[in-house]
Amino acid sequence: MPIEYRISSNVDLVIHLYNSPSSPPSPVEYRQDTSDTSADVAKYYVTAWSLQQASPVFSRIISPDPRFRQPSKISYSGKELRLITLEDDDHEALSIVLNLLHLNSKSLPSTENISWSTFYDVAVIWDKYNVSNLIRPPWIRHFQKYMNGLGYENWLFIGKAFQEDEGFVELTARLIVESGQNLSGREAIEAGPGGIGFTRGGKYVDASGWPDSVREHITAENTYLMDKLRNILSTWKWSFKGKRPRALCTCYGNVPRYNRHTSLSNSIADLLSDDSMVASPPVHLPTNGNVPAEIRLASRLRDIEGGGRWQWNGSIVSLRRRMNFLRNCMADRDVRQVKHMLENADIYDLCPLEESALRVLYDFDQTVEIIKGIGIDGEIVDVPLSCLLEDVKIEPWNMRGDGKKWDGLVMLGVRISGVFAVVSVLVFAIALGKGWGVKMVESGIVA
293 and 428 part of one domain: no
Query: What is the pLDDT, as a whole number, of residue 393?
Result: 61
- Do 384 and 340 contact (CB within 8 A), yes or no? no
Query: Are 348 and 429 contained in the same domain?
Result: no
SS3 at position 189:
strand
Q: Provide the domain count of the chain.
A: 3
Residues 50 and 109 placed together within one structural domain of the fold = yes
The verdict on 319 and 428 lying in the same domain is no
Boundary residue ending a domain (96, 114, 145): 145
CATH of the domain at 125: 3.30.710.10
pLDDT (0 to 100) of residue 219: 87
In a domain, 97, yes or no: yes
| 129-132: Cβ within 8 A, 24+ apart | 129/55, 129/57, 129/58, 129/97, 130/55, 130/56, 130/57, 131/54, 131/55, 131/97, 131/101, 132/53, 132/54, 132/55
- Same domain? For 124 and 57 the reply is yes
Nearest-angstrom CA–CA distance, 292 and 302: 16
Q: Are residues 357 and 308 in the same domain?
A: yes
Q: What is the pLDDT of residue 350?
A: 76
Q: Are residues 437 and 394 part of one domain?
A: no
- The CA–CA distances, whole Å, from 291 to 147, 259, 265, 299 equal 46, 24, 20, 11
Residues facing 179 on adjacent strands: 200
Structural domain contains residue 216: no
**Same domain assignment for residues 37 and 73:** yes
Helical spans, DSSP H, in 274-323: 293-303, 316-322
Is 10 contained in some domain? yes
Residue-number span of the structural domain to which 412 is assigned: 404-442
Residues of the chain with pLDDT under 70: 1, 20-39, 181-196, 242, 274-308, 331-336, 391, 393-423, 425-447
Amino acid (1-letter code) at residue 125: I
**Residue 116 domain flag:** yes
Based on the fold, state whether residues 124 and 31 are members of the same structural domain: yes
**Domain-embedded: residue 164:** no
> Are the C-beta atoms of residues 234 and 228 closer than 8 Å to each other?
no
Three state DSSP letters for 75-103:
EECCEEEEEEEEECCCHHHHHHHHHHHCC
Looking at residue 249, its pLDDT comes to 78
* Residue 398: per-residue pLDDT: 60
Phi, psi (deg, nearest 5) at residue 108: -90, 145
Q: Return d(Cα 175, Cα 329) in angstroms, integer.
A: 29
Statement to judge: residues 394 and 408 lie in one domain: no
How far separated are the first and last CA of the chain, in Å rounded? 111
- The distance of Cα 241 from the centroid of its chain, to the nearest Å, equals 36
- The angle, 0 to 180 degrees and rounded to 10, between the axes of the packed helices 352-368 and 212-239 is 170
Length of the chain equals: 447
In a domain, 189, yes or no: no
The phi, psi pair for 345, rounded to 5°, reads -60, -35
* Domain identity same for 333 and 408: no
Which of the listed residues 93, 120, 145 is the one where a domain comes to its end? 145
Q: Is 282 inside a domain boundary?
A: yes
Task: Let me know if residue 58 belongs to a domain.
Answer: yes
> Would you say 217 and 374 are in contact if contact means Cβ atoms under 8 Å apart?
yes
The C-alpha angle 79, 81, 85, rounded to 5 degrees, equals 150
- CA–CA separation, 86 vs 76, rounded Å? 19
Domain identity same for 389 and 409: no
